[in-house]
Amino acid sequence: MNTLWIVVIGVITIYVAYNFYAKRIDRDVIQADPKRATPARMYMDGVDFMPTSRNVLFGYHFKAIAAAGPIVGPITAANLWGWSPALAWLVLGVSFIGWVSDYSAIMVAVRNDGNSLSAIAHRLIAPRTRTILFVFIFFYLMLLAGAFIGILAAILSARPDVPFGIVVLALMGLLAGQMMYRWKLSIVGVTALVVTLTLVGMAAGPWGQHRDDKGALVNGPVAAVVASLNSSVDSINDHKALFTVVDPTAADPRIPAPGKDGKRVSTPAYDAETGLLKTLPNYLLWLVFLFGFSYMGANLPIWRFAQPVAYIGFWVMLITILLSAVGMVVAPLLDTKDAAGNLIGQFALPALKDMGFTVQEGKAWQPLWPMLFVTIACGAISGWHALVGSVGTARQLEYETDALPVGAGGMLGENTLALLSLTAVSIAGAGGGGGRFAQGVGKLVYAGSFGATPEIFGTALGFGTFVVIVLTVTQLVFRVMRVTLTEWVGDLIPPVRNMHVSSVISMGLTLALVLTGTWVYLWQMFGASNQLMAALSLIVVSVWLRSEKRSPAYAVVPMVFMYITTLAATIVTARNLYVTIAANPEMSGLPVAGAWAMIGVSVLLFIAALMIGWDGYKAYMRYGQTPAAPVPPSVATRQA
């Protein structure tokens, strides 16, 4: 297999799914009407409800849904089962399920005055469903935020060439919002300016970076300042760890990659002899930085920060995808080789490694079904998309007809990022997380620029892009999280109605989760809950379609598949947490406590999903029991 075929498969998938399926559903079932007033135009408040050009909104939605999921998921799946099962799920999932969930959740919210899925469930299904859904969504978002914040803080701590670009991104987001919505400047000129300056800021981090005679990485001037800052913060505790954890996945960015001899070396944050990962004070510094960034995204008016930051992030991501796509086409045609002399265009991973159905005592069980379908979430289908689409995108939709290119188009576009991630790990070789994504991107950018961009710089760009991709979504996670908490307990605890109070509570709980050191064990727990969220959103969509007397088949079939699959995956994930951590005699302290907490959360989410499913089924059947229309007397006489 070579990289060119991935480009061909991706182009065909997107074209066929959008033009021959999505357009038909939009035309025949949903019947979007450009003349119908949208919630954004009816309730414009400049905070959440804001009519937005679909050109900007596409970038916002694309970036709002594309986070760590389409990167880490395909990479993890390729390492576990091989690239072919991952590729099959990415193609089939996005074509028949993924765009369905995104587009339908947006349209359901638009047709229900911009209400959240929980509020719609209260009206359509049952009052208790709203409360249960609140519980599910809040704890699901806490898992999501904990996983994202944990991996971002680890990258910023391990890669001093990345943080400066993120500071520039924040400044450019504030500037873009001011220029577009206050100064009313041309969107083309604003885009060119802020995206260019953001890319310059990202390039400044790795500028001057090189390897010495021994192969060690030497920081450039900007990264050296950040490294000095990290060292100064660590000196507060005399460079000693606040606490240590064990990462059995070895996916933490602070863990160095194995050398040519297969061994890892010790670093200030990693002890190669014991395998312990040290949490140093600078890690807390970057946690505070990330919470500050997210706080602005969660509480400032949507146009002021969250939307322009996501819009800029979209362009950074798009440029990276396009450069890499050129490399995917060029590399196999020109037989381009990397610095080690390996062909960049050829896959290094096998097509199929293991189906994973064999159970080994004391080890995680990873059967292809159901675990593949929760390991790869975003890129195929994702519950987060439905949440942010209904609470965020639906409240900015200027015309109903914009929902198809923004919702369905955005999801199909995100699939390209997942395909890029799968390609990156397939050519870079076995390994997990953002590191393998960055290394693969470095090779592809080198090939796509015909050797003009050094591989080391392309790798740094890959790390920076990964952080931008995840961070621009993390701010929106907290925005949805504080809205959910306010709607859930705001009536019982009035202070929580204040956005700042609800944001601080949400971030405080997330911080407690991250500091247990268990985020590395959360990925499949997040994946299972994320896909369950997708199934639950499709339940709401299916019931709404039934209540509106529209054909629900296109939503019901994927809903049933995802619901059964993710319930099974939740059980498997809880079992794996128990076997590998909670009951493992070699584990102790915070990881064990965190594992038990995650098992408890998985049980809670499983029970909540069963209750929502049952309520949804009853509502679905209730709306199908419409009395038959009375037969006119004249017809009755003729029949007699």
How many distinct structural domains can be found in the chain?
1
Question: Is 490:496 a contact under the CB 8 Å cutoff?
Answer: yes
Residue 69 contacts by C-beta under 8 Å, 6 or more apart in sequence?
377, 378, 379, 382, 384, 527, 530
For residue 495, the model assigns a pLDDT of 93
CA angle centred on 627, ends 626 and 632, rounded to 5°: 135
Taking alpha carbons only, the member of 293, 382, 289, 319 closest to residue 64 is 382
Model's pTM, two decimal places?
0.84
Residue 66 phi/psi, 5-degree rounding, is -95, 105
Is beta strand 217-218 parallel, antiparallel or unpaired with respect to 270-271?
unpaired
Q: Are 143 and 135 in contact (CB under 8 A)?
A: no
- The C-alpha atoms of residue 632 and residue 554 are separated, in whole angstroms, by 34
Under 8 Å between Cβ of 268 and 234: yes
Which residues have a Cβ under 8 Å from the Cβ of 548 and sit 6 or more positions away?
A: none
Could you tell me if residue 55 is inside a domain?
no
What does the pLDDT read at residue 518?
56
CB 438 within 8 A of CB 462: yes
3-class secondary structure, 130 = helix
Position 16 scores a pLDDT of 97
Q: Are 566 and 370 in contact (CB under 8 A)?
A: yes
Q: How far apart are CA 394 and CA 453, in angstroms?
A: 40
Name the amino acid, one letter, at 603: V
Give the closest residue to 490 by CA, choosing from 223, 203, 118. 118
504 inside domain = no
Q: Across the 640 residues of the chain, what is the mean pLDDT of every consecutive 10-residue run?
A: 94 97 97 95 86 89 84 87 96 96 96 90 89 84 85 88 92 95 92 94 85 75 93 92 71 74 83 84 94 94 89 87 93 88 90 90 88 89 90 93 96 93 86 76 91 83 84 88 87 91 94 70 71 91 95 96 93 87 76 79 88 93 67 39
Mark out the alpha helices in 115-186 (DSSP H runs).
117-124, 127-158, 163-177
What does the DSSP 8-state code read for residue 48?
S
61 assigned to some structural domain: no
Rounded Cα gap, residues 621 and 552, in angstroms: 12
Q: How far apart are CA 462 and CA 465, in angstroms?
A: 5
1 neighbors 347 (Cβ within 8 angstroms)? yes
Please report, for residues 38, 57, 301, 394, 404, the alpha-carbon distance to residue 34 in angstroms, rounded to integers and kept in the order given: 9, 16, 26, 14, 12
Q: How far is 113 from 39, CA to CA, in rounded Å?
A: 5
- The first and second tokens of residue 94, run together, are 């996005």
HSE at residue 345, side-chain half, CA atoms within 13 A, is: 18
First to last CA, the chain: 70
pLDDT of 433: 64
Does 223 reside within a domain?
A: no
Question: What one-character DSSP code corresponds to residue 244?
Answer: E
Domain residue limits at 117 = 3-44+72-215+230-485+516-639
- HEC string of 587-638? CCCHHHHHHHHHHHHHHHHHHHHHHHHHHHHHHHHHHCCCCCCCCCHHHHHH
CB atoms within 10 A of CB 178: 15
Furthest CA-CA distance within the chain? 100
Report the pLDDT value the prediction gives residue 250, as an integer from 0 to 100: 63
SS (H, E, C) 75-111: HHHHHHHCHHHHHHHHHHHHHHHHHHHHHHHHHHHHC
- Among 167, 156, 158, which residue's Cα sits nearest to residue 286? 156
Residue 188 lies in a domain: yes
Query: Domain for residue 62, yes or no?
Result: no
- Pairs from 579-585 (Cβ < 8 Å, separation ≥ 24): 579/362, 579/363, 579/364, 579/365, 580/248, 580/362, 580/363, 580/364, 581/521, 584/362
Of the candidates 310, 488, 331, the one whose C-alpha atom is nearest the C-alpha of residue 410 is 310
Is 388 within a domain?
yes
Task: Give the closest residue to 317 by CA, choosing from 565, 131, 71.
Answer: 71
* Domain-located, residue 269: yes
Amino acid at 639: Q
Contacts of 141 (CB under 8 A, 6+ apart): 387, 477, 480, 481, 484, 506
CB distance 88 to 9 below 8 Å:
no
Residue 208 φ/ψ region, left for φ over 0, alpha for ψ in the -120 to 50 degree band, beta for the rest: left
pLDDT at 173: 94
